[in-house]
């Protein structure tokens, strides 16, 4: 894709805007998309036969997505889904049954691939690098994924250097936070960025 057409792409702006969050921009968009998808299931797809089939084929969801279902879903719809799945187990279970993968994991991985592909494509744009300078860096999982996908060595080195630079900023904030907690200076001397530093970094330490 040409740089001019990239800049017209809404995904480009979504990733650029996500760089202003305190999260890995790819994680930020994935979480948002996932929350919207789950909310849409509860608003629109409770009686959708295709969704019911996907849930039955996997006999539910993985642990992480059960937690999100319980967090974002409403009680009535959760009961309807659960009733359907329990009924299906009682009526149709057999030991040769082949379970499919959690349908929300499948959609998560598709979205993740799309975002990682786009992120790497946008690395060809200097304007995108400017947005990255103001970001928090990638989480390790998405750093490794994008690094693997960089088209050449030069881009890989640039990405690695940028990630190290972002981590250095976090290291500085963590260092101040630790010093101020150890030292005799009052805790109200700790600024917002220092106070949030350990949470921001723990969100990035996912592989």
Q: Binder to Zn ion among 19, 139, 166, 190 (CB under 5 A)?
A: 139
Q: Binding to Zn ion by residue 19, rule CB under 5 A? A: no
Q: Which is nearer to Zn ion, 18 or 139 (CB)?
A: 139
DSSP 8-class letter at 150 = -
Separation between Cα atoms, residue 147 and residue 145, nearest integer Å: 6
Q: Binding to Zn ion by residue 65, rule CB under 5 A? A: yes
Q: Binding to Zn ion by residue 150, rule CB under 5 A? A: no
Min dist. Cβ of residue 58 to Zn ion (A): 9
Q: Which is nearer to Zn ion, 27 or 120 (CB)?
A: 27
| SS3 at position 96 | coil
Cβ 142 vs Cβ 109: under 8 Å: no
Separation between Cα atoms, residue 165 and residue 169, nearest integer Å: 7
Chain position carrying tokens 């640039």: 158
Give ∠ CA 10-135-172 in degrees, rounded to 5: 175
Which of positions 93-132 make contact with Zn ion (CB under 5 A)? Answer: 102, 104-105
Min dist. Cβ of residue 27 to Zn ion (A): 3
Separation between Cα atoms, residue 187 and residue 130, nearest integer Å: 34
Q: Binder to Zn ion among 18, 19, 26, 131 (CB under 5 A)?
A: 26
Separation between Cα atoms, residue 28 and residue 34, nearest integer Å: 10
Min dist. Cβ of residue 206 to Zn ion (A): 7
Q: Binder to Zn ion among 16, 54, 56, 142 (CB under 5 A)?
A: 142
Q: Binding to Zn ion by residue 56, rule CB under 5 A? A: no
- Nearest C-alpha neighbor of 30 from the set 188, 138, 124: 138
Q: Which is nearer to Zn ion, 129 or 176 (CB)?
A: 129
Q: Which is nearer to Zn ion, 99 or 185 (CB)?
A: 99
Cβ 55 vs Cβ 170: under 8 Å: no
Which stretches of the chain bind Zn ion, using CB under 5 A?
24, 26-27, 62, 65, 102, 104-105, 139, 142
């Amino acid at each position: 894709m040409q740089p001019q057409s990239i800049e017209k792409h809404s995904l480009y702006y979504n990733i650029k805007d996500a760089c202003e969050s305190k999260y890995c921009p790819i994680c930020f968009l994935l979480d948002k998309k996932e929350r919207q998808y789950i909310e849409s299931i509860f608003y629109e797809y409770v009686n959708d036969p295709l969704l019911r089939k996907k849930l039955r084929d996997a006999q539910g969801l993985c642990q992480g997505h059960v937690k999100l279902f319980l967090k974002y879903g409403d009680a009535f719809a959760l009961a309807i889904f659960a009733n359907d799945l329990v009924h299906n187990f009682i009526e149709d279970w057999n030991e040769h049954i082949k379970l499919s993968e959690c349908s929300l994991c499948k959609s998560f991985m598709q979205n993740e691939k799309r975002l990682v592909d786009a992120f790497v494509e946008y690395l060809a744009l200097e304007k995108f690098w400017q947005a990255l300078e103001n970001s928090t860096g990638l989480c390790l999982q998405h750093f490794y994924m994008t690094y693997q996908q960089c088209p050449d060595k030069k881009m890989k080195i640039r990405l690695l250097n940028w990630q190290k630079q972002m981590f250095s900023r976090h290291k500085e904030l963590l260092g101040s936070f630790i010093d101020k907690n150890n030292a005799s200076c009052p805790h109200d001397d700790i600024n917002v960025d220092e106070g949030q530093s350990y949470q921001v970094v723990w969100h990035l330490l996912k592989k």
